[in-house]
Amino acid sequence: MNVEITNLFRAPYSVPNGLEVTDDGLWVVDQISDRVALIDILDEVDDYAVTPVQKEIPSESSNTSGLAWGDGSLWLAANGVGTKWRTARDTDAKSGEILRIDPETGVTQARWDLPGSGGTHGIEYDNFDVGTLWLTTLKSQTVTQVKIDDWSVVKVFDLPYIRAHGVVRVEDGLWVVHTGDRVIVKLDLSSGEEMDRIEVPQPHPEPHGLCIYGDDFLCCDATSGWIAKISQV
């Protein structure tokens, strides 16, 4: 796929590691503090723009490396303990966990261990197969679909590269970011085979989190703090 990549604005956090567009704005999560902010989306490129923050909530997540929205809740991918960044908390995950949190208060509504243990860098609520989530399951270099009500595994696909990050479900496939290789791969939902890809070369921001924004994608870079738009051309 041929794309145009545009730096839009910097996130309100220094290490934004997951994002999701909703009708209210853009949710962004910070990997260090594990706080989540709802912000306005700035479509005009401005290196000095101050990102308008509508609200900010805490969470019990740790080393948060992915964010999704669905069924009235925020979903966070806790990539293990947060002590790389801060002092330990009693609520820190010992290994990969998924948290469902209240978008008004940040209160944890439920939490689950990551299937197969290990770490996770990406999460997506499936609006086409309602009641399921997609998770990057890094220990096995796979992406896993789980059924929320009983946390059973629905599908598992092998991934072509390591360090899988943001996940986006579209009608005819599943996009998965591979941060280290700077490539976003579209997988077939039946076979897991590659259908398409987007290259994100230097000097563009390194892709971490990914979400749909109209006909485009937004991605965040946990290294530089940039929010960028990826548009098909």
Count of CB atoms within 10 A of residue 215's CB? 7
Residue pointed to by tokens 């801060």: 86
pTM of the model: 0.96
Q: Is the pLDDT of residue 226 over 90?
A: yes
For the record, the structure tokens of 146 come out as 């789980």
Rounded (to 5) percent helix, strand, coil in the chain? 0, 50, 50
**Of the candidates 160, 63, 45, 61, the residue with the CA atom closest to the CA atom of residue 106:** 61
3-state secondary structure (DSSP) of residue 100: strand
List, for residues 134-192, the tens digit of each pLDDT value: 999 999 999 999 999 999 999 999 999 999 999 999 999 999 999 999 999 999 999 99
Q: Which residue has the higher pLDDT, 21 or 41?
A: 21
Fold of 3-232: Neuraminidase (2.120.10)
CA–CA distance, 218 with 25 (Å, rounded to integer): 12
CA–CA distance, 142 with 156 (Å, rounded to integer): 7
Q: Is the pLDDT of residue 96 over 90?
A: yes
**Of the candidates 32, 2, 4, the residue with the CA atom closest to the CA atom of residue 17:** 32
- Is-cis flag, bond preceding 203, omega within 30? yes
Domain layout of the chain by residue ranges: 3-232
Count of CB atoms within 10 A of residue 225's CB? 16
DSSP β-bridge partners for residue 22: 25
Q: Is the pLDDT of residue 227 over 90?
A: yes
Q: Is the pLDDT of residue 91 over 80?
A: yes
Compute the mean pLDDT over every residue in the chain, rounded to the nearest whole number: 95
